[in-house]
């Protein structure tokens, strides 16, 4: 098992963490100044939201850095908790029936931990097939044994879909720490940090560009805040950032730009799909667990769609 800090630590990873810390300090200072200068009620609301998001980022970065510090298993445990909370939000927002409670017990307390156990122990085949094959078949079988046939297909699909998005897809992020890169050994923590940075900066930059010059909405009935200007401006900014940080990856600058573009695209459609579910349920956020950011799924929707595609693209083109 590799250690990400200590005698075998990678200085470049510390530089990445230090740069992130610097950005957070800068954002906090700017937020304080804006709060003092805000005059109108709308400006005060906007600045308050910005400062709440910054405070949330301090907590999330601290947790992520702590997980990396204890190695891949610690990172897997952190994402296990995130998946558990995201799945809880998903099931709460798309409720099932009492007949599904025993199925949900299996999903939350057996299948989800077992899936992450296979990840942490590098049992790659079981990591790949447990949920999309065995859990996919087990969920309807267990629900059918409960004997309640009302809306059976809808109820079963909700559980299966939540398990796939909130557990299976999200787990591909920590799986980056185990991808076999023969020409880039013992540096995969940097690659995970790069991936998370690109995913989250894409969301931030699309939000900023959308606020600055967003006019043409992409899907107004699904996500009114998403505009072509925000998507293109934020996407290009994020691609440039990803290319500039190529030294934290096994990619060349051009390859890093291409992979960042792939992440931007998948993250965007992930956010769009999960927004469609929220609109269907008549809510703005998945929850309120993260002050300034909504729920866990509000922060992980882009990652859930980008992680498996990025993992397999990296493994196929750069792995053994």
pLDDT digits (tens, 9 = 90+) for 245-278: 999 899 999 999 999 999 999 999 999 999 999 9
Chain mean pLDDT for the chain: 87
Whole-prediction pTM value? Answer: 0.88
Task: Tell me: do 319 and 285 sit in the same domain.
Answer: yes
The domain boundary, picked from 23, 44, 70, lies at: 70
| Percent of residues, the chain, with pLDDT higher than 90 | 58
- Dump pLDDT digits (tens) for 90-142: 999 988 899 999 999 999 999 999 999 999 999 999 999 999 999 999 999 99
Same domain for 36 and 8, yes or no, is yes
Among candidate residues 35, 70, 105, the one where a domain is terminated:
70
Residue-wise pLDDT for 38-53, tens only, equals: 777 766 776 776 677 6
Q: Identify whether residues 200 and 306 lie together within a single domain.
A: yes
Q: Does pLDDT of 299 surpass 80?
A: yes
Same domain, 213 and 305: yes
4 lies in the same domain as 50: yes
Q: Which of 51, 70, 89 is the last residue of a domain?
A: 70
216 and 241 belong to one structural domain: yes
Is 208 found in the same domain as 77? no
* pLDDT(3) > 60: no
Q: How much is the pLDDT for 164? A: 98
Residues 162 and 190 in one domain: no
Q: What CA dihedral angle connects 38, 201, 190 and 62, to 10 degrees?
A: 40
**Separation between Cα atoms, residue 187 and residue 19, nearest integer Å:** 18
Given a cut of 90, is residue 7 above it in pLDDT?
A: no
Structure tokens at 280: 């269907």
* Domain co-membership, 61 together with 75: no
Q: Average pLDDT, stretch 19-28?
A: 80
Three-state SS string across 73-102, please? HHHHHHHHHHHHHHHHHHHHHCCCCHHHHH
Residue with tokens 């558990």: 84
Q: How many domains does the chain have?
A: 3
- Determine the average pLDDT of the residues in 211-232: 91
51 lies in the same domain as 171? no
SS3 state at 231 = helix
> What's the pLDDT at 21?
81
pLDDT at 9: 58
Mean pLDDT to the nearest integer, 153-166: 96
DSSP symbols for the chain: ---SSSTT--HHHHHHHHHHHHHHHHHHHHHHHHHHH--SHHHHHHHHHHHHHHHHHHHHHHHHHHHHHT-HHHHHHHHHHHHHHHHHHHHHHS---GGGHHHHHHIIIIIHHHHHHHHHTT-HHHHHHIIIIIIHHHHHHHHHHTT--TTHHHHHHHHHHHHIIIIIIGGGTGGGGG---TTSTT-HHHHHHHHHHHHHHHHHHHHHHHHHH--SBSSTTT-TT-BHHHHHHHHHHHHHHHHHTGGGSSS-HHHHHHHHHHHHHHHHHHHHHHHHHHHHHT-SSS-SSBTTTBSHHHHHHHHHHHHHHHHHHHHHHH--
Which range marks the domain in which residue 96 is found? 71-178
**pLDDT given at position 20:** 79
pLDDT of residue 5: 38
pLDDT of residue 292: 56
Look at residue 2 in the predicted model and tell me its pLDDT: 40
> For position 49, what pLDDT does the model report?
67
Q: pLDDT-derived band of residue 13, with 50, 70 and 90 as boundaries?
A: confident
**pLDDT beyond 90 at 18:** no
Instruction: Please check whether residue 275 is in contact with residue 172, taking contact to mean a CB–CB distance below 8 angstroms.
Output: no
Are 271 and 319 within one domain? yes
């Amino acid at each position: 098992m590799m250690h990400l800090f200590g005698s075998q630590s990678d200085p470049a990873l510390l530089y990445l963490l230090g740069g992130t810390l610097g950005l957070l300090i800068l954002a906090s200072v700017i937020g304080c100044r804006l709060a003092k200068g805000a005059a109108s009620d709308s400006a005060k609301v906007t600045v308050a939201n910005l400062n709440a998001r910054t405070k949330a980022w301090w907590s999330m970065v601290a947790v992520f850095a702590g997980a990396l510090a204890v190695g891949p298993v610690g990172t897997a445990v952190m994402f296990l908790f995130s998946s558990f909370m995201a799945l809880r939000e998903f099931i709460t927002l798309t409720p099932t029936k009492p007949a599904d409670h025993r199925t949900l017990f299996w999903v939350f307390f057996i299948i989800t931990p077992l899936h992450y156990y296979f990840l942490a122990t590098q049992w790659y085949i079981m990591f790949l097939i447990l949920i999309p094959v065995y859990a996919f078949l087990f969920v309807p079988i267990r629900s059918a044994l409960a004997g309640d046939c009302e809306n059976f297909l809808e109820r079963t699909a909700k559980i299966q879909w939540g398990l796939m998005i909130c557990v299976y897809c999200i787990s591909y992020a920590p799986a980056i720490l185990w991808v076999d890169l023969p020409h880039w050994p013992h540096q995969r923590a940097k690659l995970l940090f790069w991936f998370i940075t690109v995913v989250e900066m894409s969301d931030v930059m699309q939000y900023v560009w959308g606020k600055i010059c967003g006019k043409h909405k992409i899907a107004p009935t699904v996500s009114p805040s998403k505009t072509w200007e925000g998507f293109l401006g934020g996407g290009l900014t994020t691609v440039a950032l990803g290319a500039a940080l190529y030294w934290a990856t096994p990619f060349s600058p051009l390859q890093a730009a291409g992979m960042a573009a792939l992440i931007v695209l998948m993250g965007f459609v992930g956010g769009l799909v999960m927004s469609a579910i929220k609109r269907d349920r008549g809510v703005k956020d998945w929850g309120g667990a993260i002050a300034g950011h909504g729920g866990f799924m509000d922060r992980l929707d882009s990652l859930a769609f980008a992680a498996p595609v990025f993992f397999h693209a990296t493994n196929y083109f750069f792995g053994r």
